[in-house]
């Protein structure tokens, strides 16, 4: 397979890059000075693209690669891949579901605890020496808080199970009611927001879910409500989120994703009721290695004419 051209869309995980280089003729798009010229020169050599949550395969890239056969995403999300164009051209698409579910769900719970119990602020309080001048302020209990989950897929269910361990009543909204779940279903995001203390965004990013968390939803959640976003940044109307937090119309937020990564609204930096993470939901050695192995496994299966491990298209 050493002669098969694989295009890596952006820097990802060193192990993945090294393993791809061992097996394929690896091209690194981010190191190219002239993208258009590079694609023109190598378009007939590249048969696979490896992308992630930051960079994938849009229509322009797909059209520039006439020999492209498969896009293997180092991510569970597919919003950076033009799935319609892939279907049109018969290009296979894979992602990395399941292996990152636990880490992302763990992080969602960690964000809930960090926001309500002000863990980051407490840490700074100790480090700055303020504890010597007096005790830290009281915070808010997490156990027993009602948790509403937007998107009850693999990750949503994993979050729900963890929340139950904290005696949290769980409800959800998704496109359709899930017949095999015990959690309460609400037929709209607004109804979900009206009936929970913590709203967790865990759905896929589509045109329908872009800015699904808007001003009306935020105001319905209210000044004691908390938003946790471990989905995608564009799920939330970010300017509306910022203004609600600054004005006190929303109680707090725990964010791992943002609308224009890696840029984060600076207004959030001074807010102690907000916990900000740099999109690290799946960011453990164990999970990223498993994800990389899945990407490589899908590529090898495709080029050996075997069934794909995690086919999407």
* Residue pair 143/113 in contact by the 8 Å Cβ criterion: no
Whole-number mean pLDDT of the chain? 97
Rounded Cα–Cα distance for residues 23 and 39 (Å): 21
What are the pLDDT digits (tens) for 133-185? 999 999 999 999 999 999 999 999 999 999 999 999 999 999 999 999 999 99
Which residues, other chains included, contact 93 with Cβ-Cβ below 8 Å and sequence gap of 6+? 70, 71, 72, 73, 78, 81, 83, 86, 311, 312, 313
pLDDT in the model for residue 222: 98
Show the tokens assigned to 157: 């269910």
Cα-to-chain-centroid distance, residue 239: 19
- pLDDT of 81 higher than 90: yes
2 among known catalytic residues: no
The answer to whether 261 is a known catalytic residue is: yes
Q: Is the peptide bond before 109 cis (omega within 30 degrees of 0)?
A: no
DSSP state of 132: G
CB 146 within 8 A of CB 194: no
Mean of pLDDT values over 223-241: 98
pLDDT tens-digit series, residues 175-207: 999 999 999 999 999 999 999 999 999 999 999
Average pLDDT of the segment spanning 245-265: 97
The DSSP annotation for 201-244 comes to: E-SPP-TTTTT-B-HHHHHHH-TT-EEEE-S-GGGB-HHHHHHH
Separation CA 227–CA 86 (nearest Å): 34
pLDDT digits (tens, 9 = 90+) for 267-285: 999 999 999 999 999 999 9
Q: Closest Cα partner for 15 from 278, 290, 282? A: 290
Catalytic residue among 117, 210, 211, 279: 279
Mean pLDDT score, 253-268: 97
Cβ atoms of 226 and 254 within 8 Å: the answer is: yes
Quick one: average pLDDT of 119-136? 98
Among the listed residues 162, 232, 235, 288, the single catalytic one is 232
Catalytic residue among 18, 41, 88, 261: 261
Task: List residues bridging with 5 in a β-sheet.
Answer: 25, 46
Mean pLDDT of 229-244: 98
Entry pTM: 0.94
pLDDT, position 1: 85
Per DSSP, the three-state class of 200 is strand
Calculate helix-pair angle for 154-164, 101-116, nearest 10 degrees. Answer: 50
Whether 47 is catalytic: no
Residues shown for the chain: 313
Average pLDDT over every residue of 79-86? 96
């Amino acid at each position: 397979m050493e002669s098969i051209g694989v295009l890596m869309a952006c820097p990802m995980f060193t192990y993945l890059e090294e393993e791809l280089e061992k097996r394929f003729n690896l091209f690194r798009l981010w190191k190219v000075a002239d993208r258009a010229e590079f694609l023109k020169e190598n378009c007939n050599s590249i048969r696979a693209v490896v992308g992630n949550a930051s960079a994938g395969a849009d229509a322009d890239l797909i059209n520039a690669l006439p020999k492209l056969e498969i896009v293997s995403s180092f991510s569970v999300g597919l919003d950076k891949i033009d799935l319609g164009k892939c279907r049109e051209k018969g290009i296979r698409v894979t992602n990395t579901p399941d292996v990152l579910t636990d880490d992302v769900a763990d992080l969602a719970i960690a964000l809930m605890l960090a926001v309500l119990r002000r863990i980051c602020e407490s840490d700074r309080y100790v480090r700055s020496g303020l504890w010597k001048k007096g005790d830290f302020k009281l915070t808010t209990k997490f156990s027993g808080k009602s948790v509403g989950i937007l998107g009850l897929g693999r990750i949503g269910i994993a979050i729900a199970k963890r929340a139950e361990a904290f005696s949290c009543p769980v409800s959800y909204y998704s496109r359709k009611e899930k017949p095999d779940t015990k959690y309460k279903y609400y037929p709209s995001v607004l109804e979900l927001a009206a009936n929970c203390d913590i709203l967790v965004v865990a759905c896929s990013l589509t045109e329908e879910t872009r800015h699904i968390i808007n001003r009306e939803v935020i105001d319905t959640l209210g000044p004691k409500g908390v938003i946790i976003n471990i989905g995608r940044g564009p799920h939330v109307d970010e300017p509306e989120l910022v203004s609600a937090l600054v004005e006190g119309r929303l109680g707090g937020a725990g964010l791992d994703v943002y609308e224009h990564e890696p840029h984060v609204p600076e207004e959030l930096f001074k807010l102690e009721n907000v916990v900000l993470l740099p999109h690290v939901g799946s960011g453990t050695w164990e999970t990223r290695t498993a994800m990389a192995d899945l990407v490589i496994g899908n590529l090898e299966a495709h080029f050996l004419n075997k069934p794909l491990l995690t086919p999407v298209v």
